[in-house]
Amino acid sequence: MRTLARVATTLLARDRHVFAIQAAVGWCLGGLGPVLILGARDLNVPRYQLAWLGSAFGFTLLGAGLLGRRALSRGPAPVVAVGALLLLAGTALLGFGDRLSLLGAGGLLQGAGCSAFVIATPALVGTDDRSHRLAVAVGASSVAGLIAPGAVALADRLFTTGRVALILPLLWVIPAALTTTRRRSPAGTLSAVSVTSSGRMTASTWWRWLAIVLAVSAEFCFWTWGAARLVDGGATDSVASGLAAAFAVGMAVGRLVGPRGLRSPVLVSAVVTSLAGVLVVFGGGVTVLIAGLFLAGLGIAVLYPVLLDFLLADPSLPEQRLIALAAYASGVAITITPALLGVLDRIMPIRYGFGLVPLFMAAMVWTTRLAVTPAATSH
């Protein structure tokens, strides 16, 4: 227990700023679904008119991928500060906006703020025990994502609309942004590390990048369509919205435990667990589906931190550019995959759409192996 407490104290002292911005990202993503429903109710419009808000994060991540290298040229602190301002504006519009255009602008600004935090996170973490620390950081995001829907629901009972709960992350994000700006960058962080690279992308870089696209694609299959699969299995809409948190619970557990690097058995374990969860999701009955969602979350949880670390370890490019590429990979996956499953849902039962996940996982393993072949690493 003393050892565990000592590790927790060290992580909090070293990465509290990272936990704060990642918790904000998780809160915004976790509250997006309920806010979409409440926004449609408050404005008296069909839900499909707000459905595109789910892709706003993906769109802004694409922008972060294009601008990330230049944005990080002066270190992560200015990026965190700008992200906090964008989040302030976005959550205010989403929480209090009374027109569709205001909610749309709020969604984009909030997404831009979260995207800034996403590209700042690996820069703040640096190189020391990176894979494990990234996993714990995004674990904080998963925990916040679990709490957010309940907070929105409670706020909806207490206030005019539950959308106001989106502003809560500002309570910890603004202090984190101020203290991040003031503190010096410690040794081992991106701004303090001298990175030697050729500046040219190799085939290995592309394979590592594609592995992140595939992993995030599999993850967002469950984030976006897990509740719909529960409805398909017999749950009501309201019950399915709550029970879909089984996937988030699995994600939180898996990320808080954390990986120790790509070469450890954790990657194989994650893929096996993810496939096991998918197989259970193909089964019938709500109880079995809940277990499947939990197992899928538990397995998929470690893939993004491990693969992000794998990409950042590529020696062919500076880390600023690799971080931007990682954001771009997530943006591609988040923008395309939910829409793809939506198309499949129109032509077949949604359960069959989850057949994409084993394909994503198999391709991901294949790309990680291709990335370390001599032919891929040569210039």
Asked if 195 and 319 touch (Cβ cutoff 8 Å), the reply is yes
* pLDDT beyond 80 at 257: no
287-292: long-range contacts, CB 8 A cutoff, minimum separation 24? 289/229, 289/230, 289/233, 290/230, 290/243, 290/246, 291/246
Kindly state whether residues 136 and 229 are assigned to the same domain.
no
Same domain, 187 and 138: yes
Q: Which residue has the tokens 């907070």?
A: 151
Residues 189 and 267 in one domain: no
| Token pair in block for residue 328 | 């771009």
The verdict on 203 and 92 lying in the same domain is: no
Count of structural domains, the chain: 2
- Does residue 231 have a pLDDT over 70? yes
Mark whether 175 and 239 lie in a shared domain.
no
The domain of 111 spans: 1-194
Copy the structure tokens of residue 240: 């399915």
Per-residue pLDDT tens digits for 58-89:
788 888 777 767 777 778 888 899 999 999 99
The confidence score (pLDDT) of residue 106 equals 92
CB proximity list for 187: less than 8 A, separation 6 or greater: 193
Condensed to tens digits (0 to 9), the pLDDT of residues 94-123 reads 999 988 889 989 989 998 999 899 888 888
- Which of 169, 194, 219 represents a domain boundary (last residue)? 194
Q: Is residue 378 part of a domain?
A: no
Domain identity same for 160 and 238: no
CATH of the domain at 202: 1.20.1250.20
**Separation CA 85–CA 97 (nearest Å):** 17
Domain assignment of residue 377, yes or no? no
Q: Hey, how many other C-beta atoms are within 10 angstroms of the C-beta on 350?
A: 18
pLDDT value of position 242: 67
Geometric angle at alpha carbon 285, from 284 and 290, rounded to 5°: 105
Q: How far is CA 240 from CA 14, 167, 181, 346, 349, in A?
A: 38, 26, 42, 20, 16
Helices (H), the chain: 2-43, 53-71, 76-96, 100-125, 130-158, 170-182, 203-232, 237-243, 245-257, 266-281, 286-300, 303-312, 319-347, 350-353, 356-371, 374-377
DSSP 146: H
Q: What percent of the chain has pLDDT over 70?
A: 81
Whether 133 is covered by a domain: the verdict is: yes
- Does the pTM surpass 0.85? The reply is no
Q: Domain check: are 230 and 285 in the same one?
A: yes
- Residues 13, 1 share a domain: yes
Same domain, 303 and 352: yes
Indicate if 362 and 215 belong to the same structural domain.
Answer: yes
Whether 92 and 236 share a structural domain = no
Percent of the chain with pLDDT over 90: 12
CA 166/CA 92 separation, integer angstroms: 8
Amino acid sitting at position 279: L
* Residue at a domain's end among 159, 194, 229: 194
User: Does residue 228 share a domain with residue 189?
Assistant: no
Using pLDDT thresholds of 50, 70 and 90, give the confidence band for residue 195.
very low
Q: What pLDDT is attached to residue 181?
A: 61
Of 142, 171, 194, which residue constitutes the final position of a domain? 194
The tokens 């990320």 sit on which residue? 255
Residue 145 lies in a domain: yes
Contact 172, 24 (CB under 8 A): yes
Token pair belonging to 7: 């590790």
Specify if 379 maps to a domain: no
